[in-house]
Amino acid sequence: MRVEQISVFLENKSGRLAEITQVLADNAINIRALTVADTADFGILRLMVDKVDEAKKVLKDNGFTVGKTNVVAVEVPDQAGGLASVLKTAETEDLNVEYMYAFVNKSGRNAVLIFRFDDMDKAIAAMQGAGFTLLDGAQICGL
């Protein structure tokens, strides 16, 4: 099960992140999860939002470079070892994690791990085969 996320190329300048979040807010687009990876000159903002296509359009219309990619959302218990169990499955199946981020909806319940794997189809099959719960975009937005 794949989930769409948007990625925004971001100049590493004061206020750029605020601009993006304001554009989304002005268009009633809710951010469910995000991560920023940066270098000295630029960053990549990865977002899970409730209206992916609309977010991509309004950000492009406001001068941002935006892409859409697929990721896998794996739900695990919010306890020690949750992430390790998913990564063990990835290791066993010889999957490479290109990047990941996570969020917790309510402490003590479940965590959601967002992964980009080198082989997405193989990763989905491996995670489902190992008994992990995969979430779709609507489920993430419903959390």
In the predicted structure, residue 76 carries a pLDDT above the cut 60: yes
| pTM to 2 decimal places | 0.88
* Sequence-separated (6 or more) residues with CB below 8 Å from residue 98: 116, 117, 118
Strand, helix or coil at 42? strand
The mean of the pLDDT values for the chain is: 92
pLDDT per residue as tens digits for the range 104-114: 876 568 899 99
Residues 93-109 have a mean pLDDT of: 86
Half-sphere exposure in the Cβ direction for 100 (13 Å, CA): 19
Query: What percent of the chain shows pLDDT beyond 70?
Result: 98
> pLDDT at position 109, please?
82
pLDDT per residue as tens digits for the range 6-57: 999 988 888 889 999 999 999 999 999 999 988 777 889 999 999 999 999 9
Residue ranges matching CATH 3.30.2130.10 in the chain: 3-69, 71-142
CATH no., domain 3-69: 3.30.2130.10
Distance between CA 143 and CA 138 in Å, rounded?
9
> pLDDT at position 140, please?
86
Q: Which CATH superfamily is domain 71-142 in?
A: VC0802-like (3.30.2130.10)
